[in-house]
Every structure is written in structure tokens, then in C-alpha cells.
Amino acid sequence: MFRAARGVLSFAAVIAALGVLWEGIKLLGGDPNGAWTPPFQWTVASDLNMPHVWDIATSFVEPAQRNGPPLGLVLGDAALFTFREAFGGFVFGALLGLALAIVFVHSRLLERALVPYVVASQTVPIIAIAPVVVIWLQGGWLAVAVISAYLTFFPVTIAGLRGLRSPDPRALELMRSYAASPRSVLFKVRLPAAAPYLLAALKVAATASVVGAIIGELPSGIREGLGGAILNFNQYYVSGPPKLWAAIIVAAIVGIGFFVLVRAAEAFLMRGRVPAAET
Amino acid sequence: MSGVVSVRGVDKVFGTGRERTEALRRIDLEIPQGAFVSLIGPSGCGKSTLLRLIGDLTQPSVGTIEVNGKTAHRARLDRDYGMVFQSPVLFDWRTVQRNVELPLEMTALGRTQRAARAAAMLALVELGGFERRYPWQLSGGMQQRVAIARALSFEPALILMDEPFGALDEMTRERLNLELLRIWKQTGTTIVFVTHSIPEAVFLSTQVAVMSARPGRILEVISVDLPQPRNDLTREDARYFGFITRVRERLRGHDVAPPRAAEVAASG
């Protein structure tokens, strides 16, 4: 509990430091603010490019559109929507990634045949894949989840394969001496041994799934999520710069929240094991 | 009396061509019911390989191996033996009790029966009360005792041990030697024990099989008829030293060139 509090505190300290840095830059090279005229004039630090921290903060409570609900609520709904897509993609991707790892650990032939394509899949930019998936699946929630899964399965496969191979060879001999079935070996030795590897990969996958979902929304014409919001506020940036920044912050919060969720699951699943270094 | 283990005319060759290594040559070994047999020899002589052959973890190139009157393969499928390695190989996500229960999970035994059996085996290795601990919370010697309890959990007729105390300090090792003898007596099991310690082999065994350097052959099976039960006094018995010298000379006779007289006198 104490350690958790310290974590939150240091996180808040970093956020505060970033805010101070941001305003410091504006103080040195931003637009004139009241009586203060900054010594430099940097385009990047103008109110248009770097809106004031307090302007971003207040934008959350101001209406997103004339007479509409406040931006915070709009972004909250969008965040939930995107999180659902990301979660779907995360689950798809994790299951696919784990299934591939389990197949590969049992068949050297399939591993040799397929792993190059698994690796190649990650060198194709998601921006190029996304429209194709949208056409195949005719847009919608499922298409976004699939695009998100495309980003998440890879770390799970690679880490899973490594983890499933991690047991001591003598542990496998022991199981052989018990005349254990391949199923028992998988569930009683390989998967538990792979758990720390898998959970590390799932933390990567959690944040990647949010990125995948946001990118997936762009070509699928979905306006309800954070991707739609970012696209929208980007288009009308000049009329309200803080809104895009607010959307970016919310997207980051979704990613961090998902990461924290997986970490909590990790803490629960790894209780009792050798206390390892925290990540 | 029929042997628990009967090895006949076994050769073991690894690899082919230039990689070809002859590990074992013409091994014949009969191990009677209730015996404690040590395999001793220079490193790389194939003593671990012989143990693995008996346990059907690898197969002979030539010859046959019977365990309990069956093929070694059949015996493995019937779960006729327990295995202990130099490192305990415990699963760190399982409590001590669940580690001991692991082999039983492959059988039709129910949860309560498994727990009862595990508790009994842990009591046998004097680890009662540690059921809920995790392996990493125990010392090396205690971990190895958990591994022994696990090997006993099938109540196997045969226990195969590959340098089980090799990584422990001398004092822990001597204490565990005594415990192992007690467990051996109490359970009436047969033990095949690989070691590179001559005193350990003599102290524990009813027979010591002395092996040559590669390709490993059994040079002699020395019957150690020191009185049972053995205890700390055994280690001070003049005949105990006599057996140690005998094993050592048998090993030396085949391992290296004959030593000079001065060396013999010094090591005597």
C-alpha cells in the first residue's frame, strides 16, 4: 500500500514537472501574456502550437461544441468506446499470440515455416493494413479490434515461445518419469513457467492495443472513439487547440489505465512466486 | 531372488560418424530387491547415462533393461520409480505440498488422498509444517528433501538418484545421508545412487558398482557388508576405511597410470 502511494506520488511529480517545463518554455519564447513579454519568439511555443496548461485543463469542462456537453464527458465516452475496442483487440491478440506460441513450441517444423511471416507481419505498417481490414470486415467495431489484435499478438507470441521453452530440461524429464501427458506438461509446467514472460508481453500488448484501436478507427469511419475525436479536433485545431491536447491526454490515460490493469492482474497471478524486480 | 533392475549386455552410443561417442560398453548389472547400489566412476564415465537408461529417459543402443520384470519403458509408464537430480528442480509457483503432490496429479488419486500422501511423505523427510511454504523460502538442503519426498510420493519400488547431495555442503550432506538411509529402511525401497564421492558411496551402499572411464564399463561390484543400520560410528569404523581404500584403488587401477609408491603410502 505504501509503495503504491509512493508510485502515485512520483507519477504526479513527473506530471507537475512536465507542466512546469511546458510553461517555462512558453514564458521564455511564447506569446505575450498580460504584462509579460517573453524575451524570445519561438513559433513552436505560441499559444496555437502549445496552448497554456490551464487552457487545456479548463477545456475539459467547457462544451466541446456550442450548447453541447462538456469536452471531458465527450472524451470520457470516446475513451470508453476505444477501450472496448482495444480490449477486444487485446483479447484476440493475446489468444492468437499464445496459440501460435503453443503450436510453435510443439512443432519445430511449423515454427521454422511460420515465424518468418510472423516477424514480417510486423514490418508492414499498420496504417497500410488498417484500410484493407476495414474493407474486408466492412468497418465497425470488429474491424478495429482485429487491427488492434494485429499489433498485440506479436509480443505475446515471441515472449510466449521463450517462456514455454524456459523450464529446466530436468523438469521436463521429471514429467516424463511421471509418464505425464503432453497436456499435463503444457498446463503444469510450460504455461506456469511462461507466465512471467507472458505477463511482461501483455503489458506491452495492452498499450499497443490502445494505439491499434485509435489507428483502426481512422479508416473505418468510426467517430465515436478517441481516434474520431483526434481526427476531428485536428481538423478544427485552429478554432480550439486545447481540445486536441485534451484528447491526446485522454488517449494516454487509457493506455496507462490498461497497463495498470494488466499489472494488477500480474501481481495477483504472481503472488507467492520468487519476488522479482518490478517492471 | 529376482532383481528389481536387470541390465544385460547394454551398450550406449551417442551420435554417428565423427561425433560418435561410446558412452557405455557391455554393461551387466543385477540389482536385488531392497538394495542400495551406488554407481561411482570418473566424470564422464556414463554413470548418469546408466541411471537414465534404467529410468527409460534414454534407450540403450544394444542390450535389454528390465525393471520389476518389465521393460524399462513399461515400468516408466507404470510409474515404478521416483527420480531425484542434483538440483531439486522444484516448481517455484507451487507450495511445498503442491510440489510433492505433482506426480500424484498424473494419477486417479483424489485431492484429499493426494494431500494425505504428501503430508505423510513430508513427515518422512522431516518437513512437517512446511507444507504451505514456497520452495524459495527453504534452504538448499530442505529443498532437496522436498525433492526426495516428491520422488517417494508414488511409493515407488525403485528410486533413481543422480548426485542428489552433490551441491550441498559437507555437514548438510552427512545429515541427509543418514536421513536417506532411514527412509530407505522405513520404506523398503530399492535405490540406485550416482555419486562421485567415494566415502558417500561406501557409507550408504550395500553394493558399490565401480565404473571405468569412457567407454564406461562396470569394473567390479563391491559388496559393502558393513553392519546395518549405519550411523555416525560407521564413519569411524576401520572396515569403513578399508572399503574406501578398496573402491579408490579399483578406480585408480583403471583410471590413470599406476601411482608411485610414495603416493600410495600417503593416500593409504
For residue B125, pLDDT beyond 80: yes
Q: And the C-alpha cell for B260?
A: 608411485
pLDDT on residue A98:
96
User: What would the CATH number be for the domain defined by A77-269?
Assistant: 1.10.3720.10
Q: Scan residues 88-127 of A and list those with Cβ closer than 8 Å to B.
A: none
pLDDT in tens, B1-18: 468 899 998 889 898 888
Residue B86 Cα, gap to closest chain A Cα (Å):
10
User: Three-class SS of residue B65?
Assistant: strand
Percent of chain B having pLDDT more than 70? 93
Query: Hey, are the CB atoms on A168 and B87 less than 8 Å from each other?
Result: yes
**Chain A interface, mutation test: which of B89, B98, B194, most A Cβ atoms within 10 Å?**
B89
Asked if the C-beta of A188 comes within 8 angstroms of chain B's C-beta atoms, the answer is yes
- CB-nearest to B103 from A170, A178, A193 is A178
For residue B154, pLDDT beyond 60: yes
- CB-nearest to A179 from B79, B85, B92 is B79
Query: Hey, are the CB atoms on A171 and B95 less than 8 Å from each other?
Result: no
In this prediction, the residues of chain A whose per-residue pLDDT falls under 70 are 1, 275-279
Chain B residues touching A178 at Cβ < 8 A = 79, 102-103, 106, 154
Residue B77 Cα, gap to closest chain A Cα (Å):
5
Asked if the C-beta of A272 comes within 8 angstroms of chain B's C-beta atoms, the answer is yes
Q: What are phi and psi of B253, to 5 degrees?
A: -55, -30
| Helical segments of chain A, H only | 2-29, 53-59, 71-106, 108-121, 126-137, 140-164, 169-177, 182-184, 191-220, 226-235, 241-269
Residue B231 Cα, gap to closest chain A Cα (Å):
31
Number of Cβ within a 10 Å radius of residue A28: 12
- CB-nearest to B57 from A176, A192, A273 is A176
pLDDT on residue A226:
93
Sketch out chain B's domains with CATH numbers.
3-80+156-267 (3.40.50.300)
Displacement of CA A18 from its chain's centroid (Å) = 21
Q: What angle do CA B72, B75, B78 make, to 5 degrees?
A: 155
Q: How far, in Å, CA of A104 to CA of A195, rounded?
A: 17
β-pairing, B218-223 with B207-211?
antiparallel
Among B52, B154, B162, B160, residue whose Cα is nearest residue B102: B154
User: Could you give the ipTM of this predicted complex?
Assistant: 0.84
- Domain residue spans of chain A: 77-269
Asked if the C-beta of B88 comes within 8 angstroms of chain A's C-beta atoms, the answer is no
Q: How far, in Å, CA of A63 to CA of A94, rounded?
A: 38
Q: Which residue of A has its CA nearest to B134?
A: A272
pLDDT in tens, B128-144: 899 999 999 999 889 99
Among A146, A156, A142, A172, residue whose Cα is nearest residue A99: A156
Write down the pTM of the prediction.
0.84
Chain B residues touching A191 at Cβ < 8 A = none
pLDDT on residue B257:
45
pLDDT on residue A159:
95
pLDDT on residue A1:
61
Confidence band of B256 (pLDDT split at 50, 70, 90): very low
Q: How far, in Å, CA of A15 to CA of A6, rounded?
A: 14
- CB-nearest to B106 from A173, A180, A274 is A180
Number of Cβ within a 10 Å radius of residue B6: 18
A194 close to A161: Cβ distance less than 8 angstroms: no
Q: What angle do CA A237, A241, A246 make, to 5 degrees?
A: 110
pLDDT on residue A153:
94
pLDDT on residue B268:
38
Q: And the C-alpha cell for A13?
A: 511529480
Q: Give the single-character DSSP code of A212.
A: H
> Which whole number is the average pLDDT over B39-68?
90
pLDDT in tens, A127-149: 888 888 888 888 788 899 999 99
How many Cβ pairs within 8 Å bridge chains A and B?
Answer: 50
pLDDT in tens, B172-231: 888 889 989 998 998 899 999 999 899 999 999 999 999 988 888 898 898 988 888 888
Q: How far is CA A156 from CA A160, A201, A204, B187, B203, in A?
A: 5, 5, 9, 47, 52
Query: Hey, are the CB atoms on A178 and B102 less than 8 Å from each other?
Result: yes
pLDDT on residue B208:
93
